[in-house]
Amino acid sequence: MLLINIKLKKFIVSPWFILIVASIIGAVFFIYFYGLSCINPLNTNWLMYGGDLKQHFVGWQFFRSTDWDFPVGVISSLAYPFGLPITYMDSIPILAIPLKVFGAILPTNFQYFGLWGLFCYMAQGGFAALIIRHWTKNKTIILLCSFFFILSPVMMMRMFAHTSLASQWIILAAILATIEWRRIENFKKQSLIWSILLIIGVMIHPYFIPMIGMFFVISTILTHKTWIKTISKSFIVFVSSGIAFWLIGGLQIRQVANDGLGDYGFNLNSLFNPLGWSRLLHPITNASSSSETMNYLGIGLLLMIPVAIILLFIKFRDKKYLRAWLKRLNIRYLLISLVVLGMIILAISPQVQYGTFVLVDINYPTIIEKVWSIFRASARLFWPIYYLIIIGILAFLIKLSNKLNKKVFIIFLFMLLSIQFIDVYFSQSATVKRSDFSSHQTTLYEPPLDLALWKQVSFGSSHMIYLDDMSGEDFFELVDVALQNNLTMNTGYYARKPGKLIQDYQDKQRELLTTGNTDISSNLFITKDELFVNQLQATHKYTIKYIDGFYVIR
């Protein structure tokens, strides 16, 4: 019994205890917000109501039902006949690829998005607790601080909208690895840890590559000893993650749209502009109507900032403290500051905006804008800075509170956390999200199209060939038909797509239909172009039916 008590006491003071408790808090909040039914892998009803969430789910459905291709992450039945990497359906390749191995034995209605959401909230709380533990061993303070990360409006907005992008625990993991750089100064450990982090980031979503990469560069600056080791480590880390990206098909599509680079950039008011995610603050009108710019901190954290500034001003009035702080500055910290500044500039994009005002619009060379446009929703690149700001505020207050009564500081934290919870949880956007999410889980999904009729006209077909530009709405309707009848789709609603190849393929199919040289038996041609349909009826004897707003050519 004594031995058990000793082991229990050791466990309670270990990092594992605080990691587990903070993860449980994350899980409780997830269930409180989203409910339990989405965790059920056999419940797919809530995923079918259009929007990006349906895109992610049908990406998995197509991927699991097609034969293995190379690279292994390519869905050969989408963007047919060219194929589409699963990462551009935001279907979380790190889960989709291993689960495809068991695709034949998994139930027909199987989904992993709910469990991934639960895991993300648990990991968010766990990694946040390990980070805060760097400045205090007080468990109450650690858990209160970790809850601020769980309440992140940025994460709440992304969850079950862009589910893969809600995996923001990977940013916290990279921050933790950077903070603990002294413990992993060993060349092999550094190479292994950063390779694993970047590979995981690649396997979740490409946008995490520059975010984790930023912290790898910072860690490399902190641990730099010789150029040979630094170059070798960088080569190992970036080549290994590059190979992972290639294997999942990330390099399959080289065409990049450059639209949205200015519209989706970080606005200078983003940290305090809630855009619907605050119960207490009204949104500020921005030049862009996109919610992509949202990086709202929450009232609780915003109230901490003036407190931290006042305390910092009082501290710096002590010249000894200021001199001691300045002595710690060196070339490494200057370089780190430049790296962080560079990421902020990338997040802001070529257009510097404050609200509706475009303060600066820089015309960069075309080659720079083309590369930049790979991450055209550039406000997302501010997320590492977003979490560094949260950590900085909390860490600074914790450090200054060491001379204060701990109970007073805990009460202070609890009050601000309560304000943060009320502000974010009861905001208009969060309330609407909970309401929609709840109704989708309790209401049986009704397909918008007459699937029985479509099954008749699809009989004998292997390929659905859509001849027009496909809107997201058309894709979410027709994808039900394609999945039910095991049809490939030549175009659709994708994060990235081989646009020129798809357009050329559609033009070729139109030409073949016009000349009467196409394969009608295995192809199901669909269009909304009435003029083209009239042209075909005048020159060829095709069977053309008008179903649910679409012309079907057989």
Q: Per-residue pLDDT tens for 195-214?
A: 999 999 999 999 999 999 99
Phi, psi (5° rounding) for residue 91? -95, 20
Q: Tell me: pLDDT of 270 over 90.
A: yes
The residue range of the domain holding 243 is 174-254
Residue 274 is assigned to a structural domain of this protein: no
Most confident listed range (102-106, 146-150, 519-523): 146-150
pLDDT value, residue 7 = 59
Q: Tell me: pLDDT of 105 over 80.
A: yes
pLDDT value, residue 545 = 93
Residues 311 and 407 in one domain: yes
Helices (H), 374-529: 383-400, 406-425, 428-442, 451-458, 472-484, 499-515
Residues 426 and 354 in one domain: yes
Residue 235 is assigned to a structural domain of this protein: yes
Q: Per-residue pLDDT tens for 48-73?
A: 887 889 999 999 999 999 999 889 99
pLDDT value, residue 11 = 62
Binned at pLDDT 50, 70 and 90, residue 367 comes out as confident
Q: Per-residue pLDDT tens for 417-468?
A: 999 999 999 999 999 998 888 777 777 888 999 999 999 999 989 999 999 9
**Total domain count for the chain?**
3
Residues 317 and 427 in one domain: yes
Binned at pLDDT 50, 70 and 90, residue 402 comes out as confident
| Mean pLDDT, rounded, for 362-390 | 86
Residues 406 and 469 in one domain: no
Higher pLDDT, 278 or 69: 278
Instruction: For strands 357-361 and 463-466, give the pairing.
Output: unpaired
Residues 309 and 241 in one domain: no
Residue 144 is assigned to a structural domain of this protein: no
Residues 460 and 399 in one domain: no
Cα 17 from Cα 130, distance rounded (Å): 10
Residue 470 is assigned to a structural domain of this protein: yes
Output the pTM of the full model.
Answer: 0.93
Residue 161 is assigned to a structural domain of this protein: no
Residues 230 and 312 in one domain: no
Helices (H), 248-330: 299-316, 319-327
| Mean pLDDT, rounded, for 307-329 | 74
- Torsion, CA 56, CA 510, CA 529, CA 524, rounded to 10: -50
